[in-house]
């Protein structure tokens, strides 16, 4: 009887022990920080923490985020270029070929088109000068704003500069009228901004419009994103999973992964696209998103579009841009899914089409706070477009975490 009881007791303890091990296999303990999202914001936060030897885990199901780089095709289906001034985002991507501004054509129609080296540009010289001085004033404020955003929240940084704060709520069309470069905007600037954002100046605020327009006044380069280099850099600190929910526990957060794994941390950085951030944090108000569709094709373009490597179109056109690639293929960006590519191609063969249903969060004046309660942070381009603003937001969260330890 005693022997039976002992065997039964040992068996019961073994079952409890194995259940405990099974339970532990679904818990990942992280002492300090978990970053959700592997786009430029999340990666920049992770890189900053890694450089400071901080404890963190980066969880993502989409390394590179909305860069959408295809290693197989060596093509970006999302972010297409980096500016020379992208000092922080530049740590995570590689600059490629310089995009030659003289190899860009601006189209009003199949017939009316002009490059920068065109008599049309001379006619616009007075407005171009006004545009230049408006951008010069903006760049002084914006560089100071970006520097402040490394250590201050965007809201705090805007509070120190009424000029920047006003641009966030001002429609770009109003800024254009105020600075009197309407025709230059129609002919050049709005086409470039449309190619970058998928929306016209009547749908975007002045801050975003001027930010992307900086690419007209400084060198811009194609970019590549190497997933292997990034994976090797973070090693075991990088985990592939999708976070479904975030729960607040006693002095910690509990994250539930799609894999069934639970994760725990004192600090959480939500560095996901705005719609995913909204769902995770039950946040009601975010900016609305535009749609962009990217077609990778082997094609012979029509004569009107054949000469230049980059063709830009007005916001009234469903086709945003055509971009010739190094291997002779083309990327064609459109604002609608059902577009007749024969509008710009004599013939084409589709290689890939990538839908970007929630591409850029640009509509409306909603503003997401970056500090969302004790130990909970938001990073990304929710309040400002571009790889560099996203990178800066990630660095801010890392700095805030390290300063609050």
pLDDT one-digit tens code per residue, 199-210: 999 999 999 999
Task: Give the CA radius of gyration of the chain.
Answer: 24
Domains in the chain: how many in total?
2
CATH code for the domain in which residue 334 is found: 3.90.660
Specify the pLDDT at position 27: 55
> Where in the sequence is the domain holding 31, given as residue range(s)?
25-70+224-288+366-403
Answer yes or no: is 235 within a domain.
yes
Distance in angstroms (rounded) separating the CA atoms of residues 295 and 134: 35
Residues 232 and 299 in one domain: no
Residues 342 and 377 in one domain: no
Residues 147 and 185 in one domain: yes
Residues 148 and 191 in one domain: yes
Specify the pLDDT at position 22: 43
List phi, psi (to 5°) of 148. Answer: -65, -35
Answer yes or no: is 383 within a domain.
yes
Give the contacts of 230 (CB within 8 A, at least 6 positions apart).
43, 63, 64, 92, 238
Residues 131 and 252 in one domain: no
Distance in angstroms (rounded) separating the CA atoms of residues 295 and 298: 10
Specify the pLDDT at position 405: 64
Tell whether the model's pLDDT for residue 4 goes beyond 90.
no
The sign of the CA dihedral 115, 117, 123, 125 is positive
Residues 139 and 229 in one domain: no
Of the candidates 362, 377, 394, which is a domain's last residue?
362
Coil, helix or strand at residue 46: helix
Q: Is the whole model's pTM more than 0.75, yes or no?
A: yes
Residues 107 and 134 in one domain: yes
Answer yes or no: is 153 within a domain.
yes
Distance in angstroms (rounded) separating the CA atoms of residues 173 and 205: 8
Specify the pLDDT at position 31: 62
Tell whether the model's pLDDT for residue 75 goes beyond 90.
no
Region 382-388 average pLDDT: 91
Specify the pLDDT at position 383: 92
Answer yes or no: is 18 within a domain.
no
What is the percent of the chain where pLDDT is above 70?
Answer: 92
More confident residue, 18 or 43: 43
Highest mean pLDDT among 68-72, 116-120, 252-256, 401-405: 252-256
Region 46-65 average pLDDT: 96
What is the percent of the chain where pLDDT is above 90?
Answer: 76
Residues 275 and 295 in one domain: no
Distance in angstroms (rounded) separating the CA atoms of residues 240 and 231: 10
Tell whether the model's pLDDT for residue 359 goes beyond 60.
yes
pLDDT one-digit tens code per residue, 82-113: 999 999 999 999 988 999 999 999 999 878 89
Specify the pLDDT at position 339: 94
Specify the pLDDT at position 12: 45
Residues 340 and 374 in one domain: no
Distance in angstroms (rounded) separating the CA atoms of residues 223 and 96: 5
Give the range among 45-54, 265-274, 356-365 with minimum mean pLDDT: 356-365
CATH code for the domain in which residue 58 is found: 3.50.50.60
- Angle, alpha carbons 231-233-238 (nearest 5°): 50
Answer yes or no: are the C-beta atoms of 385 and 80 closer than 8 Å.
Answer: no
Answer yes or no: is 5 within a domain.
no
Residues 106 and 168 in one domain: yes
Residues 335 and 384 in one domain: no
3-state per-residue secondary structure call for 112-179: CEEECCCHHHHHCHHHHHHHHHHHHHHHHHHHHHHHHCCCCCHHHHHHCCHHHHHHHHCEHHHHHHHH
Answer yes or no: are the C-beta atoms of 157 and 322 closer than 8 Å.
Answer: no
Tell whether the model's pLDDT for residue 13 goes beyond 60.
no
Specify the pLDDT at position 74: 79
Sort 291 into a burial class: Cβ within 10 Å, 0-12 / 13-18 / 19+: middle
Q: What is the mean pLDDT of the chain?
A: 90
Distance of alpha carbon 178 from the chain centroid: 29
Specify the pLDDT at position 255: 96
Answer yes or no: is 17 within a domain.
no
Specify the pLDDT at position 21: 41
Answer yes or no: is 150 within a domain.
yes
Give the contacts of 208 (CB within 8 A, at least 6 positions apart).
172, 197, 362, 384, 385
Region 157-182 average pLDDT: 97
Answer yes or no: is 64 within a domain.
yes
Tell whether the model's pLDDT for residue 178 goes beyond 70.
yes
Residues 173 and 120 in one domain: yes
Give the contacts of 202 (CB within 8 A, at least 6 positions apart).
171, 172, 173
């Amino acid at each position: 009887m005693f022997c039976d009881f002992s065997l039964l007791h040992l068996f019961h303890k073994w079952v409890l022990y194995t259940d405990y091990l099974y339970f532990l296999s679904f818990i990942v303990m992280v002492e300090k920080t978990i970053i959700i999202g592997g786009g430029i914001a999340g990666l920049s936060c992770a890189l900053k923490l890694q450089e400071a030897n901080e404890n963190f885990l980066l969880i993502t199901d989409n390394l590179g985020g909305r860069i959408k780089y295809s290693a197989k095709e060596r093509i970006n289906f999302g972010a297409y270029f980096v500016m020379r001034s992208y000092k922080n985002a530049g740590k995570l991507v590689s600059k490629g070929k310089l995009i030659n501004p003289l190899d860009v054509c601006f189209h009003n129609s199949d017939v009316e088109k002009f490059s920068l080296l065109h008599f049309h540009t001379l006619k616009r010289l007075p407005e171009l000068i006004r545009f230049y001085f408006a951008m010069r004033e903006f760049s002084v404020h914006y560089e100071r704003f970006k520097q402040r955003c490394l250590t201050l929240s965007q809201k705090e940084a805007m509070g120190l500069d009424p000029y920047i704060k006003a641009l966030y709520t001002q429609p770009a069309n109003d800024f254009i009228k105020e600075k009197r470069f309407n025709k230059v905007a129609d002919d050049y600037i709005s086409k470039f901004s449309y190619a970058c954002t998928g929306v016209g100046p009547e749908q975007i605020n002045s801050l975003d419009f001027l930010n992307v327009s900086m690419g007209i006044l400084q060198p811009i380069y194609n970019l590549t994103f190497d997933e292997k280099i990034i994976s090797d850099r973070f090693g075991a600190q990088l985990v592939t999973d999708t976070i479904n929910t975030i729960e607040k526990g006693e002095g910690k957060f509990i994250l539930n992964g799609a894999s069934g794994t639970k994760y725990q941390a004192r600090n959480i950085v939500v560095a996901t696209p705005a719609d995913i951030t909204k769902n995770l944090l039950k946040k009601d108000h975010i900016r609305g998103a535009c749609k962009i569709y990217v077609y990778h094709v082997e094609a012979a373009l029509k004569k009107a579009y054949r000469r230049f490597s980059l063709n830009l179109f007005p916001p009234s056109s469903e086709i945003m841009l055509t971009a010739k690639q190094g291997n002779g293929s083309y990327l064609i960006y459109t604002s609608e899914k059902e577009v007749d590519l024969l509008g710009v191609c004599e013939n084409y063969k589709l290689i890939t089409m990538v839908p970007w249903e929630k591409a850029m969060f640009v509509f409306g004046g909603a503003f997401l706070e970056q500090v969302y309660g004790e130990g909970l942070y938001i990073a990304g381009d929710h309040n400002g477009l571009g790889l560099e603003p996203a990178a800066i937001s990630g660095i801010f969260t890392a700095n805030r975490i390290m300063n609050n330890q």
